Amino acid sequence: MDRMVLKRMEYYGYHGVFEEERKLGQRFYVDLVLELDLQEAGKRDDLSKTVNYAEVHDLVKNIVEQKSFKLIEALAEHIASSVLDTYTMVDALTVGVTKPHPPFDIHFEGVTVELHRSRK
């Protein structure tokens, strides 16, 4: 299966277990790997035979920036189901949501939740 990869899309959202996170907001990164057949798009050089990644970006942006979840697991799940519902040519996908600066008194680069969903 072919793949379309959207790396480290950056958004500002209001997600987190702590009330302050949902009030002040913070940056989130989203990675998507869409599994779909890209052969016809490549052969015909035809956007209608593939997924418009600018539209996918906007869909994810609306979810991250307009909704609020306590868990990034819930955010990732909502992104996955929305992409699969919107783009029927996508057979499966992997979603990664990263919170680069979780509010802990420990130092690490961030936390990422990654999930894989398919139509099967």
Question: Does the predicted model carry a pTM greater than 0.85?
Answer: yes
Write down the pLDDT at residue 102. 76
| pLDDT computed for residue 105 by the predictor | 72
Find the catalytic residue in 43, 49, 61, 99: 99
Q: How far apart are CA 32 and CA 76, in angstroms?
A: 10
Higher pLDDT, 71 or 101: 71
Q: Examine the residue annotation and report whether 99 is marked as an active-site residue of this protein.
A: yes
Which pLDDT belongs to residue 107? 75
Distances in whole angstroms, Cα of residue 105 to Cα of each of 41, 101, 102, 108: 48, 10, 9, 10
pLDDT at residue 29, rounded to an integer? 98
pLDDT digits (tens, 9 = 90+) for 6-38: 999 999 999 999 998 999 999 999 999 999 999
pLDDT in tens, 76-114: 999 999 999 999 999 999 999 999 987 777 777 789 999
Averaged pLDDT, 40-52: 98
What's the pLDDT score for residue 2?
A: 98
User: At 103, which CATH number?
Assistant: 3.30.1130.10
Q: Provide the domain count of the chain.
A: 1
Residues spanned by the domain of 77? 2-118
- Sheet of 111-118: strand order equals 2-13, 26-36, 92-99, 111-118
